[in-house]
Amino acid sequence: MTDTVSVAAVGLGRWANVLAEQYTKLDNIDLVTCFTRTAETREEFAEEWGCDAEESLDAVLDRDDIDALVITVPNDFHADVIEQAADAGKHCFVEKPISINVADAKRIEDAVDRNDITFLCGHSCRRVGGIRKMKELIDEEDVGQVSHIEAEWANERGLEIGPDNWRGDPEKAPGGPLIQLGVHQIDNLQYLLGPVKQVFTFGKPMYTEVENMTMTQTVLEFEDGKQAYLGANWTSPGVFFINVYGTEGVMFYDMDFSNWSNSEDTDKNSTLVKREFEEWTDDPDNRQLRDVDIEMPINNHLRDEFDEFARAITEDDVEPEIGARAAMRNVAVVKAAQTSARENRPVTVEEIIENA
């Protein structure tokens, strides 16, 4: 194989175009063809990005000049498409979440392992500069020992959901905003603090005609005893923040959500501030605090994940950061939260995985 990976885009909605805007600018990826069931949509995509268009998924998989698929079909179709692609020897990038349930995630993991393909799930959020910097500072104990993190991701999508929208269906979008927004923060939290052990969640539909939850609040306990709060809701304008609380300092990260899709600009419109003791004294009344702006790397979270995907295919020493197992655990946390809200009890992640 050459250093350039030839890809086919499968599923051609809005996000497929957002991703194509980024990976087509990479030297190590070549967009060759595309497929979706609607002929007009695939023709428009092919014209926009200068690639071929196929009339079926089988036609894509039959092409010897295709190394990998970029998959953005609806979440409940991920497992079927990835199984077919893996059995045809094609590497797979799939947009998050890996699936809508743990059983499908296990199917995907089995297909990846059985066919020895490269697989990456698009949890790009952990790649933004602020979260990378927070991880570095946590590992260096720059804010002491971390005890708690609070995270929020919200938008107003729930106010627009009608009864015929798949997001309003608890089966197709389990947990509502948890599976669409919160799963990004779940990945971030497990990246920063390690595996989640158990969760307790409140959630319900608010300001909507659908039965699915549009507002959720989740408390998470990690395997090492640390804790976090996660808010995920579809009932307010775009909000994204993560606050890290340590014994010697606090970090406040805020992202301008309107720049999420423009991944060249995401980090340029984000802030990271550390609150620390200006000088430690034995007298609590004389301990002064100061806020310090923390310099963050300027990354391109979408382009970076595709560069890694291509290098993992062509280079022996590169492993995808977010493979099937890590992506499966993110969904398991979502399902644990959904179960907790329904049954009004704490739910362990292992319970969800074992019962899948």
Rounded to 5 degrees, what are φ and ψ at 290? -140, 150
Kindly tell me if the per-residue pLDDT of 259 is higher than 70.
yes
Q: Across residues 168-186, what is the average pLDDT?
A: 94
| 156 and 289 fall within a common domain | yes
Per-residue confidence (pLDDT) for residue 46, from 0 to 100: 98
Which domain covers residue 21, as residue numbers? 5-124+303-320
| 200 and 282 fall within a common domain | yes
CA 292, CA 282: separation in Å to the nearest integer? 23
CA 180, CA 71: separation in Å to the nearest integer? 16
Hey, how many other C-beta atoms are within 10 angstroms of the C-beta on 294? 16
Q: Is residue 356 part of a domain?
A: no
Q: Which residues of 189-214 are buried (b: 16+ CB within 10 A; e: fewer)?
A: bbbbbeebbbbbbebebeebebebbb
pTM for the complete prediction?
0.95
| 195 and 102 fall within a common domain | no
Per-residue confidence at 279, pLDDT binned at 50, 70, 90? Answer: confident
Q: The domain that contains 315 carries what CATH number?
A: 3.40.50.720
Distances (CA, A) of 15 to 3, 10, 301: 26, 11, 14
Per-residue confidence (pLDDT) for residue 280, from 0 to 100: 73
Kindly tell me if the per-residue pLDDT of 278 is higher than 90.
no
Pair type for strands 270-279 and 249-255: antiparallel
| 106 and 188 fall within a common domain | no
| 131 and 10 fall within a common domain | no
Q: Could you tell me if 304 and 191 are in contact, meaning their C-beta atoms sit under 8 angstroms apart?
A: no
| 230 and 248 fall within a common domain | yes
CA 311, CA 151: separation in Å to the nearest integer? 31
Q: The domain that contains 165 carries what CATH number?
A: 3.30.360.10
| 169 and 292 fall within a common domain | yes
Q: Across residues 151-177, what is the average pLDDT?
A: 91
Provide DSSP, 141-154. TTTSSEEEEEEEEE
Amino acid at site 91: H
| 42 and 179 fall within a common domain | no
| 262 and 129 fall within a common domain | yes
Hey, how many other C-beta atoms are within 10 angstroms of the C-beta on 250? 18
Q: Is residue 190 part of a domain?
A: yes
Per-residue confidence (pLDDT) for residue 283, from 0 to 100: 73
| 117 and 205 fall within a common domain | no
Q: Across residues 103-129, what is the average pLDDT?
A: 98
In the chain, how many domains are there?
Answer: 2
| 105 and 192 fall within a common domain | no
Q: Is residue 274 part of a domain?
A: yes
Q: Could you tell me if 225 and 209 are in contact, meaning their C-beta atoms sit under 8 angstroms apart?
A: no
Q: Which are the contacts of 242, defined by CB distance < 8 A and separation ≥ 6?
A: 130, 131, 134, 149, 150, 151, 185, 188, 192, 253
Hey, how many other C-beta atoms are within 10 angstroms of the C-beta on 30? 17
Distance of CA 92 to the CA centre of its chain: 16
Mean pLDDT, the chain, as a whole number?
Answer: 96
Per-residue confidence (pLDDT) for residue 121, from 0 to 100: 98
Q: Is residue 88 part of a domain?
A: yes
| 61 and 133 fall within a common domain | no
Hey, how many other C-beta atoms are within 10 angstroms of the C-beta on 59? 14
- State pLDDT tens for residues 210-248: 999 999 999 999 999 999 999 999 999 999 999 999 999
Greater confidence (286 vs 157) lies with 157
Q: Is residue 133 part of a domain?
A: yes
HEC secondary structure over 39-50: HHHHHHHHHHHC
CA 122, CA 257: separation in Å to the nearest integer? 18
- State pLDDT tens for residues 9-60: 999 999 999 999 999 999 999 999 999 999 999 999 999 999 999 999 999 9
Residue of 125, 80, 126 whose CA lies nearest to 107: 80
Amino acid at site 145: Q
Pair type for strands 196-204 and 68-71: unpaired
